[in-house]
Amino acid sequence: MADVAVIGAQWGDEGKGKLVDWLSARADVVVRFQGGHNAGHTLVIDGKVYKLSLLPSGIVRDGKVSVIGNGVVVDPWALVDEMDRLRDQSISITPVNLVIAENVPLILPLHGELDVLREAAAGDKKIGTTKRGIGPAYEDKVGRRAIRLIDLAYPSTLKEKVEKLLTHHNALRRGLGVKELNPEALVEKLKQIAPKILPYAGPAWRLVQEARKAGKRILFEGAQGVLLDVDHGTYPYVTSSNVVAGQAAAGAGLGPKALGYVLGIVKAYTTRVGEGPFPTEDESETGQLLGERGREFGTVTGRKRRCGWFDAVLVRQSLKLAGVDGIALTKLDVLDGFNELKVCIGYDLDGKQIDYFPAGMDAQASVKPVYETMPGWQGSTEGARSWADLPAEAVKYVRRIEELIECPVALVSTSPEREDVILMRDPYED
């Protein structure tokens, strides 16, 4: 397979970073296709730690081309900071190894501010966003008033575009009781950042199309997870982009047949950061223990993640919605030492058993998980690289999950180390 898309199948934080890193070592082109700097992952290469938010993972490796596709929203100031940080770590970033779709919408300071203001105004009804301005920037994109990267190349018409945008935003700001913005100041700010980012702008869609034609290996790097998808997730407690695999094509400028293999990343238990329904959330010591063992703190915001048992109903649904061919099961080692493990196999909704996650907010909040209990294992799975290294109960757990989610397990990840995987099927060789 020349093209592999990596998609999170829960609420993000499934451990995509390690798998993307593992796959990007073998890819020629790595493409981000949705989201923005709300994502975050840490790569450890030859003992050096790299923190990435918006830049595709290929950036830390020589000879790869990294592409920020049109489906992403780009904060130019955050991007320049991220590039500077990586350059300080001796990573070379040039217009040869980084191309940003010229039609990406920009995240402006006013978007971050609006995100924060709205969250504060919502009180206990807040979404729990990353406060990076992601939602407001996507709103402006679909509202057809966004400033796009290519607009920075035309300073003479930039002011007109900014004024149109501010007609909308200043009305909102008046409503929220904050100071209105002056178009000149924003235009000036944009003109200052333009030379730092415009050199990377280009028709990214063409580059990706040509790479495909030349038989190059493309890796589509998803951010967040299907349950945060704006259509299919736990709306309104979602991010503002489509995160399913179909978006990899649309958000990179390719047709729907472009994706060869879709790898879903699935954590062996469940976590969520931010507000919203979470049927298997466990607020007892079990949830605490999962959080401690799994080091469940957000990479971007440092927030503590909510934790609970594996929910096979949610994952099965996500995998179908995202068109996943096989999964990578991550963090199995976090379950070492539990006497018993629970897996959610259905829900009770007002006394009726259902086998899918309903769309309504009220139903989502009131479903009760129906659990199956499985024996745990006392041995360690940490660092295992073959089935033979796993305790029998761990193999049973993985096999039972595979059955419940109706999707094959292609890989099992058994530690944060890149080489600690049990490989059943290589996505690039499938």
Q: Which residues bind ligand IMP (CB under 6 A)?
A: 11-13, 38-39, 127-130, 132, 134-135, 223-224, 228, 237, 239-240, 273-274
- The token duo for 95 is 């217009």
Residue 168 is a catalytic residue: no
Shortest distance, CB of residue 227 to ligand IMP, whole angstroms? Answer: 9
Nearer to ligand IMP, 130 or 280 (CB): 130
Shortest distance, CB of residue 138 to ligand IMP, whole angstroms? Answer: 9
Shortest distance, CB of residue 329 to ligand IMP, whole angstroms? Answer: 18
Shortest distance, CB of residue 112 to ligand IMP, whole angstroms? Answer: 10
Check: CB of residue 70 under 8 Å from CB of residue 101: yes
Select from 254, 258, 263 the least CA-distant residue to 222: 263
Residue 13 is a catalytic residue: yes
Q: What gap in Å lies between CA 154 and CA 134, rounded to an integer?
A: 24
Nearer to ligand IMP, 57 or 240 (CB): 240
Nearer to ligand IMP, 9 or 254 (CB): 9
Q: What gap in Å lies between CA 330 and CA 417, rounded to an integer?
A: 12
Give all strands of the β-sheet with 65-68 in edge-to-edge order: 201-202, 98-101, 65-68, 29-32, 218-221, 3-8, 261-267, 326-330, 409-413, 421-423
Nearer to ligand IMP, 237 or 261 (CB): 237
Q: What gap in Å lies between CA 430 and CA 426, rounded to an integer?
A: 6
Nearer to ligand IMP, 42 or 378 (CB): 42
Shortest distance, CB of residue 376 to ligand IMP, whole angstroms? Answer: 27
Shortest distance, CB of residue 333 to ligand IMP, whole angstroms? Answer: 21
Nearer to ligand IMP, 334 or 345 (CB): 334
Q: What is the 3-state secondary structure (H, E, C) of the chain?
A: CCEEEEEECCCCCCCHHHHHHHHHCCCCEEEECCECCCCCEEEEECCEEEEECCCCHHHHCCCCEEEECCCECECHHHHHHHHHHHHHCCCCCCCCCEEEECCCEECCHHHHHHHHHHHHHHHHHCCCCCCCCHHHHHHHHHCCCCCEHHHHHCHHHHHHHHHHHHHHHHHHHHHHCCCCCCHHHHHHHHHHHHHHHHHHEECHHHHHHHHHHCCCCEEEECCCCHHHCCCCCCCCCCCCCCCCCHHHHHCCCCCHHHCCEEEEEEECCEEECCCCCCCCECCCHHHHHHHHHCCCECCCCCCECEEECEEHHHHHHHHHHHCCCEEEEECHHHHCCCCEEEEEEEEEECCEEECCCCCCHHHHHHCEEEEEEEECCCCCCCCCCCHHHCCHHHHHHHHHHHHHHCCCEEEEECCCCCCCEEECCCCCCC
Nearer to ligand IMP, 130 or 270 (CB): 130
Nearer to ligand IMP, 3 or 13 (CB): 13
Shortest distance, CB of residue 314 to ligand IMP, whole angstroms? Answer: 15
Residue sitting closest to ligand IMP (CB): 274
Catalytic one among 13, 140, 151, 282? 13
Shortest distance, CB of residue 429 to ligand IMP, whole angstroms? Answer: 29
Nearer to ligand IMP, 327 or 390 (CB): 327
Catalytic one among 3, 37, 41, 232? 41
Check: CB of residue 299 under 8 Å from CB of residue 51: yes
Residues serving a catalytic function are 13, 41
